[in-house]
Copies of this chain bind each other. A is one copy, B any other.
Amino acid sequence: MTARARSRLSAEREGEILRAVLELLREHGYEALTMDLVAARTRSSKATLYRQWESKARLVLVALRRAGGTPGNGGDIDTGSVAGDLRELMRRAGDHVVQNTELLRALALELHRGTELRETFREVILLPEIEVLRTILDRGVARGEITAGGPSAEEITYMLMGAIVGRPLLEEREADAEFLVRCTDTMVLPALGVPPRP
């Protein structure tokens, strides 16, 4: 193995592979997706894929997170207010849900099926999302917009998950950006003690 082969992939090459993974997921579903398929489609070696992403579960989840935009899906958000930040975060989450409905459904199925994917899901998707929320809340506390004893980043994540999981069951519609922004105004901001329309 040459030194070059052992080095990390370029950001461009990484992006290419992650986009290919999403394509393959749409075509084959999670279960039928193999590292061989990814290697063939992206003309890379399985060794490279495993070195970079460790497992199929991680590769798929990283690809899914990347599809939602920036790492952590909102680490760049800073509108100057908790209400503005949360609305922007939920808007992105809603767009992500609508654009990746089939993938998210396949993922949910896998998450319910067993624990194999759960740990990776927590690490790659859930904890970064909670970290983004925590940053938004911490800034709000520092600005005096909200008090420190309110709902935690974890609890707001539960509210968001409930809206995303629940709407298709109750209304047979995906939780799109408009819906999640409305939920922010009617559930999340009131729970934080922030007037929804300042």
Copies of this chain in its oligomeric complex:
2
Shortest Cβ gap from A117 to chain B (Å): 10
Contacts of A170 in B (CB 8 A): 122, 126, 130, 154, 157
**Interface residues of chain A: helix, strand, loop or mixed (majority):** helix
0 or 1 for each of A169-187: is its CB under 8 Å from B? (1 = yes): 1101000000000010011
Tell me whether A69 is interfacial, beta carbon within 8 Å.
Answer: no
The listed residue with most B CB atoms (<10 A of its CB), out of A105, A170, A192, is A170
Shortest Cβ gap from A177 to chain B (Å): 16
Q: How many residues of A contact B (CB 8 A)?
A: 38
The listed residue with most B CB atoms (<10 A of its CB), out of A157, A183, A186, A188, is A186
Contacts of A188 in B (CB 8 A): 191
Beta-carbon contact of B158 and A162 below 8 Å: yes
- Cβ contact of A187, chosen from B111, B113, B159, cutoff 8 A: B159
Shortest Cβ gap from A133 to chain B (Å): 12
Chain A positions near chain B (C-beta within 8 angstroms): 105, 108-109, 111-113, 118, 121-122, 126, 130, 150-152, 154-155, 157-163, 165-170, 172, 183, 186-188, 190-193
Per CB-CB distance, the 4 closest pairs between chain A and chain B, nearest first, are: A162-B162, A191-B191, A158-B162, A158-B166
